[in-house]
């Protein structure tokens, strides 16, 4: 069955140009000249993906996307616009109103490629095997109320004092923030939560709080409890190495919507370990015996891998597309259907070296092509990682 795409723009010439892009594609195209017309069409047709402009009269793109997200959450949302307010664009992606932002003027081939890749990622996250595994799992992690309230405060742009007062109600979140700030890599020594928040920024605080606030009732034996803790340490170390690679080798900041990607990287493993401890203990035993990576065994045992579970959860929670994609494909970062290969490649290397630093007892592999793609010399990166993180 053909995928149905709805194009929304108040300029008819733009709509005509966009329709020509899809003439030879296998998509069924619908058009709307304003937000209200788009919503009326969504009531009649089962649309798979909507592409909208931002600046439109009466109902702008933000209002339209909010309505689509609320009433038709299964519809994939993209923006194609000349809108240039960076702060608003960041909020658009961070709040998951749109999976992707494409600037006008667009490249026809790139636009088609991106749409194809978005559909492919969505297919993986909604596949039969994925849904069967999710249904089999007894309990999925959820957020506590602190995280939800924090998101609201950040959106309201309140002062740091109010955020500090809220976070102080959850010792686990406070401990996680202070642990990151006082780590050897950041080398900022402070016991002040307010100073820590100021230093790492609200986006990092939000993502740290997300991980720390996840409630999970765990009943693991001693060995699996230690492995669970090892996965948590691996997440923190992975995040530190991601930051190191971006700042010291790519000479730029990590994308704001992915600034705590490493902390979220192990969610799938922790879910599988806590829901299926006996099965996962078997996965670990095989990986140790045959010296192969865990995700290779997970696929055979569960039908899905931990990174696919992570991608599903992050998508379900409404986190940005870049982050979901990079974690989902971090073992194959240069795969053709990956849009942001840079981010996926960085998390791939960070994941590998964090495992090495923690002496993971199963075989982890690194894709050597990633070094060339990022223009990084392997020996220089390794020397810097061990120098920066040897005190951890």
- Label each residue of 24-87 as H, E or C: CCCEEEEEECCHHHHHHHHHHCCCCEEEECCCCCCCCHHHHHHHHHHHCCCCEEEEEECCCCHH
> What are 330's two structure tokens?
């971090």
Closest C-alpha among 105, 134, 93, 139 to residue 259: 93
pLDDT at site 218: 62
Q: Parallel, antiparallel, or unpaired: how do β-strands 49-52 and 3-8 relate?
A: parallel
- Phi, psi for 76 (deg, rounded to 5): -75, 135
**Closest C-alpha among 342, 306, 303 to residue 326:** 342
pLDDT at 213: 67
The reported pLDDT for the residue numbered 10 is: 94
Q: Are strands 27-32 and 49-52 parallel, antiparallel or unpaired?
A: unpaired
The two structure tokens encoding residue 237: 């170390």
**Contact present, 268 and 310 (Cβ < 8 Å):** yes
- Tell me the CATH number of domain 3-125, given options 3.50.50.60, 1.10.10.10, 3.40.50.970, 3.40.50.2300: 3.40.50.2300
Give the Cα separation of 140 and 216 in Å (integer): 8
Residues of the chain where predicted confidence (pLDDT) is lower than 50? 185, 392
258: which residues sit within 8 A by CB, 6+ positions away?
A: 320, 322, 323, 326, 343
Beta strands 100-103 and 76-81, pairing class: parallel
Please state, as a whole number, how many other Cβ atoms lie within 10 Å of the Cβ of residue 81: 22
Using CA atoms, how far residue 240 sits from 178, 232, 350, in Å, is 14, 13, 8
Distance CA 37, CA 28 (A): 18
**CATH 1.10.3210.10 region(s) of the chain?**
136-141+216-389
Which one-letter DSSP state was computed for residue 106? P
Structure tokens at 361: 């007892």
Q: What sign results for the dihedral spanned by CA atoms 285, 235, 356, 312?
A: positive
Q: How far is CA 207 from CA 157, 193, 267, 354, in A?
A: 16, 16, 13, 19
- Which residue is listed with tokens 């078997």? 282
Q: According to the model, what pLDDT value does residue 286 have?
A: 93
30: left (phi over 0), alpha (psi -120 to 50) or beta: beta
The token duo for 35 is: 């937000």
Q: Which pLDDT belongs to residue 130?
A: 87
Is domain 136-141+216-389 given the CATH code 3.40.190.150 in the classification?
no
pLDDT of residue 86: 75
**Helix (DSSP H) and strand (DSSP E) numbers for the chain:** 21, 5
Residues of the chain with CATH 3.40.50.2300: 3-125
Phi, psi at 169, each rounded to 5° = -80, -10
């Amino acid at each position: 069955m053909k995928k149905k795409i709805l194009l929304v723009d108040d300029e008819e010439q733009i709509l005509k140009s966009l329709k020509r892009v899809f003439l030879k594609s296998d998509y069924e195209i619908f058009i709307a000249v304003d937000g209200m017309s788009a919503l009326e069409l969504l009531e009649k047709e089962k649309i798979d993906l909507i592409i909208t402009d931002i600046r439109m009269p009466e109902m702008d793109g933000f209002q339209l996307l909010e309505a689509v997200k609320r009433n038709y959450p299964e519809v994939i949302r993209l923006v194609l616009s000349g809108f240039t307010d960076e702060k608003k664009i960041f909020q658009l992606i961070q709040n998951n109103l749109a999976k992707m932002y494409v600037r006008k003027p667009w490249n026809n081939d790139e636009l088609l490629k991106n749409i194809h890749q978005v559909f492919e990622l969505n297919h993986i996250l909604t596949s039969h095997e994925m849904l069967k595994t999710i249904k089999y799992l007894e309990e999925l992690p959820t957020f506590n109320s602190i995280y939800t309230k924090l998101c609201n405060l950040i959106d309201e742009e309140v002062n740091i004092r109010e955020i500090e007062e809220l976070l102080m109600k959850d010792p686990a979140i406070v401990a996680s923030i202070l642990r990151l700030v006082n780590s050897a890599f950041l080398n900022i020594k402070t016991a002040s939560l307010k100073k820590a928040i100021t230093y790492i920024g609200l986006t990092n605080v939000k993502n740290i709080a997300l991980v720390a606030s996840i409630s999970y009732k765990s009943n693991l034996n001693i060995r699996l409890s230690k492995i669970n803790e090892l996965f948590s340490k691996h997440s923190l170390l992975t995040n530190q190495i991601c930051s190191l690679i971006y700042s010291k080798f790519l000479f730029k900041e990590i994308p704001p919507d992915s600034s705590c990607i490493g902390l979220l990287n192990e969610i799938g493993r922790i879910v599988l370990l806590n829901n299926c401890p006996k099965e996962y203990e078997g996965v670990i035993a095989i990986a140790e015996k045959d010296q192969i990576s865990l995700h290779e065994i997970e696929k055979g045992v569960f039908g899905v891998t931990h990174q696919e579970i992570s991608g599903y959860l992050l998508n379900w929670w409404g986190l940005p597309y870049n982050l979901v994609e990079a974690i989902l494909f971090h073992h194959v970062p240069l795969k053709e259907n990956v849009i942001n290969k840079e981010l996926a490649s960085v998390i791939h290397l960070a994941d590998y070296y964090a495992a090495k630093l923690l002496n993971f007892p199963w075989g982890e592999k690194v894709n050597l092509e990633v070094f060339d793609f990022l223009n990084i010399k392997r020996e220089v990166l390794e020397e810097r990682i061990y120098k920066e993180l040897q005190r951890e």
